[in-house]
């Protein structure tokens, strides 16, 4: 049975030492998002900047990690290089299971290493290893090297590392997790960079016992059957999320060429089917996931001075294809994969990087920036130029690329062009579905399309009732928050209803938590917003660039009045729910905090 107290490893890179803390709070915050906010409240410093050595970098898993299918994600929480506020990023891969096998609910890293280092942690050991020779090394090469250096516990081992983008503190720097997964958004890689941390190796070298009795086994079989033998998850492993490209283009909701249009006949060569037919090699999966939605394609490169080719594997999904493809006017699947491979190596978030380069292309067209800034001329559709520009952006080769790496709006403030910067809190996700999504992403907790179901509702609903729409956003959020507190893959949200989660929690012996799932969801939602607001979140300070008001979707032109009213009302409701202290300090179930 899982223990109720959280077992947290706190590492101070300044001293190279760590300690285990046992914390109460399981029945208040569950784990994942809730645990991360709890830990930030304990270790975060609201009076210090995001890059102060004291600020924590937090990795947290949930109570069902390792016990049920698709409980495969980890929450990474930190003060963002992008907006300096508390934020989260989520990733799959092997990390969640490695932490479970290392008997850790969370890893908290504070301090700054004296030299570029790799942190290695396991069930009973901790090491901070000097890896100064890895400076500027790309994330791919660093991953391969760390795998060889720390071969122990390879079965449940997870390897995190940053590329050059993280080392230079780019707000678009991601943390590469194992193969093909990332803590992509909001600049988590920069936090590792300022801590002088090139890599983190989690060796899951311990063990844990499954719950005794037949009830758990029966429930596990039922959940497993649902995710593998029914249609609930089929779309994720067949064409994968790339299957969305055609549908969103048909709905005039797919951003093309810096969102200058939302549909294009060139989609014919860029559908999920086209990617699968031309490039797909195989599917991959996060640990503990029998679905395997990770689509891995191939590219081949001619070996210099030789007639032979080397083959590389590159993962693709809907969002990276939108960012490195349609947003840049690139319509050849292999060319998209080449750009993505470069982004992977330099360690930048593909979505942020692609959207930023789309802005830079339009800024070039309008004469706001020149080759002096971009070094390589940028034109929509010129994939080779984008491959070079992605490298320049990740490595920050000049003042322009370093500024762009801190966010498109930062570059636009210096060079002009803020009106066509496709930024909704951060560089947009690939859903130009209309007003509700634009408002929801702008104010969403992670500025992610998965913060709410706005992108999905808007593909079916043309209504323009502000009250109903904001009610939907507010009502939809707790269900997502409880899943990210477990930490489930959000693709499994139709499987893990509140009722099913309660059954699963009871099966691992967490009866009190099982009895208060909706209350915990509401509590964590409020705690997360309170944490965010305490670090500077202000809905009124976030603006929506003019480009979004010029969009036309299947519902017709965007309504300025409706979009502004949605943003205002949603911001007001977020502040109101965060200000409601009624349930904040009251213990849920039997346990205090």
Binding stretches for ligand SF4 (CB under 6 A)? 70, 72, 92, 236, 285-286, 289, 291-294, 489, 491
User: Measured at the alpha carbon of residue 182, what is the angle toward residues 447 and 54, in degrees to the nearest 5?
Assistant: 75
Please, what is the minimum distance in Å from the beta carbon of residue 82 to ligand SF4? 23
DSSP secondary structure string for all residues of 116-167: SEEEEEESS-EEEEE-GGGTT--HHHHHHHHHHHT-TTGGGEEEEE--HHHH
> How far does Cα 573 stand from its chain's mean position?
25
Residue 304, C-beta contacts closer than 8 angstroms, at least 6 positions apart: none
Residue with tokens 């009722």, as numbered in its chain: 499
Q: Which is nearer to ligand SF4, 27 or 65 (CB)?
A: 65
Please, what is the minimum distance in Å from the beta carbon of residue 62 to ligand SF4? 13
Please, what is the minimum distance in Å from the beta carbon of residue 359 to ligand SF4? 29
- Return the number of other C-beta atoms located less than 10 Å from residue 575's C-beta: 16
Residue with tokens 């720097």, as numbered in its chain: 173
Token pair belonging to 190: 């920069």
Q: Which is nearer to ligand SF4, 142 or 289 (CB)?
A: 289
Q: Are 337 and 383 in contact (CB under 8 A)?
A: no
Q: Which is nearer to ligand SF4, 482 or 489 (CB)?
A: 489
Please, what is the minimum distance in Å from the beta carbon of residue 237 to ligand SF4? 8
Q: Which is nearer to ligand SF4, 61 or 369 (CB)?
A: 61
Q: Which is nearer to ligand SF4, 237 or 322 (CB)?
A: 237
Q: Which is nearer to ligand SF4, 436 or 492 (CB)?
A: 492
- Return the number of other C-beta atoms located less than 10 Å from residue 188's C-beta: 30
Q: Which is nearer to ligand SF4, 236 or 537 (CB)?
A: 236
DSSP secondary structure string for all residues of 280-343: EEEEE--TT-SS--EEEEEEEEEPTTSS-EEEEEEEE-HHHHHHHTGGGT---HHHHHHHHHHH
d(C-alpha 180, C-alpha 298), whole Å: 13
- Return the number of other C-beta atoms located less than 10 Å from residue 588's C-beta: 20
Please, what is the minimum distance in Å from the beta carbon of residue 174 to ligand SF4? 16
Token pair belonging to 483: 């899943």
Please, what is the minimum distance in Å from the beta carbon of residue 284 to ligand SF4? 7
Q: Which is nearer to ligand SF4, 466 or 482 (CB)?
A: 482
Please, what is the minimum distance in Å from the beta carbon of residue 313 to ligand SF4? 15
- Return the number of other C-beta atoms located less than 10 Å from residue 4's C-beta: 17
How many CA within 13 A on the CB side of residue 288?
A: 28
Q: Are 408 and 427 in contact (CB under 8 A)?
A: yes
Please, what is the minimum distance in Å from the beta carbon of residue 72 to ligand SF4? 4
Please, what is the minimum distance in Å from the beta carbon of residue 285 to ligand SF4? 4
Q: Which is nearer to ligand SF4, 370 or 497 (CB)?
A: 497
Q: Which is nearer to ligand SF4, 177 or 527 (CB)?
A: 177
Q: Which is nearer to ligand SF4, 285 or 534 (CB)?
A: 285
Q: Are 120 and 126 in contact (CB under 8 A)?
A: yes
The helix-helix angle for 32-43 and 517-534 (nearest 10°) equals: 40
Please, what is the minimum distance in Å from the beta carbon of residue 69 to ligand SF4? 8
E strand or H helix that includes residue 415: helix 408-415
Please, what is the minimum distance in Å from the beta carbon of residue 240 to ligand SF4? 8
d(C-alpha 97, C-alpha 265), whole Å: 43
């Amino acid at each position: 049975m899982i223990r109720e107290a959280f077992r947290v490893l706190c590492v101070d890179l300044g001293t190279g030492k760590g300690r285990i803390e046992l914390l109460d709070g399981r029945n208040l915050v569950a784990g994942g998002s809730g645990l991360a906010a709890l830990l930030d409240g304990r270790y975060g410093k609201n009076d210090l900047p995001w890059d102060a050595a004291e600020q924590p970098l937090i990795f947290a898993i949930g109570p069902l990690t390792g016990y049920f299918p698709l409980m495969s994600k980890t929450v990474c929480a930190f003060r963002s290089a992008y907006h300096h506020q508390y934020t989260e990023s989520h990733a799959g891969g092997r990390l969640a299971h490695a932490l479970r096998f290392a008997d850790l609910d969370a890893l908290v890293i504070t301090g700054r290493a004296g030299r570029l280092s790799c942190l290695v942690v396991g069930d009973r050991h901790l090491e901070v290893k000097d890896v100064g020779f890895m400076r500027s090394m790309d994330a791919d090469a660093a991953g391969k090297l760390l795998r060889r250096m720390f071969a122990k516990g390879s079965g449940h081992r997870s390897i995190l590392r940053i590329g050059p983008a993280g080392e230079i503190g780019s707000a678009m720097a991601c943390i590469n997790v194992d193969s093909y997964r990332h803590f992509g958004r909001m600049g988590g890689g920069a936090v590792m960079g300022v801590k002088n941390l090139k890599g983190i190796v989690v060796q899951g070298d311990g063990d844990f016992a499954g719950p005794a009795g037949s009830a758990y086994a029966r429930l596990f079989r039922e959940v497993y059957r649902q995710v593998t033998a029914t249609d609930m998850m089929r779309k994720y492993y067949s064409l994968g999320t790339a299957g969305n490209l055609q549908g969103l283009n048909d709905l005039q909701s797919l951003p093309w060429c810096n969102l200058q249009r939302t549909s294009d006949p060139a989609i014919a060569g860029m559908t999920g089917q086209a990617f699968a037919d031309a490039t797909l090699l195989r599917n991959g999966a996060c640990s503990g996931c029998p679905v395997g939605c990770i689509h891995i394609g191939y590219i081949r490169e001619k070996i210099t001075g030789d007639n032979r080719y080397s083959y590389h594997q590159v993962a693709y999904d809907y969002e990276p294809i939108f960012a490195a493809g349609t947003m840049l006017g690139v319509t050849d699947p292999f060319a998209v994969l080449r750009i993505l491979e470069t982004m992977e190596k330099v360690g930048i978030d593909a979505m942020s990087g692609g959207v930023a380069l789309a802005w830079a292309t339009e800024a070039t067209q309008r004469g706001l920036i020149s080759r002096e800034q971009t070094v390589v001329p940028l034109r929509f559709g010129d994939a080779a130029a984008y491959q070079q520009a992605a490298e320049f952006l990740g490595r920050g080769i000049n003042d322009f690329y370093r500024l762009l790496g801190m966010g498109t709006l930062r570059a636009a403030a210096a060079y002009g062009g803020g009106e066509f910067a496709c930024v909704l809190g951060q560089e947009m996700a690939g859903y130009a579905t209309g007003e509700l999504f634009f408002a929801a992403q702008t104010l969403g907790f992670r500025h992610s399309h998965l913060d709410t179901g706005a992108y999905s509702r808007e593909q079916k609903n043309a209504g323009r009732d502000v009250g109903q729409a904001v009610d939907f956003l507010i009502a939809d959020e707790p269900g997502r928050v409880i899943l990210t507190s477990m930490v489930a893959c959000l693709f499994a949200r139709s499987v893990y209803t509140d009722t099913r989660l309660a059954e699963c929690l009871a099966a691992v012996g967490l009866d009190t938590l099982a009895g208060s799932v909706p209350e915990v969801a509401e509590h964590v939602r409020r705690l997360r917003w309170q944490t965010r607001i305490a670090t500077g979140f202000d809905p009124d300070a976030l603006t929506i660039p003019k480009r979004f008001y010029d969009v036309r979707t299947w519902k017709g032109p965007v309504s300025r009045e409706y979009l502004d009213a949605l943003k205002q009302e949603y911001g007001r409701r977020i502040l109101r729910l965060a200000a409601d202290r009624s349930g904040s300090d009251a213990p849920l179930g039997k346990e205090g905090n």
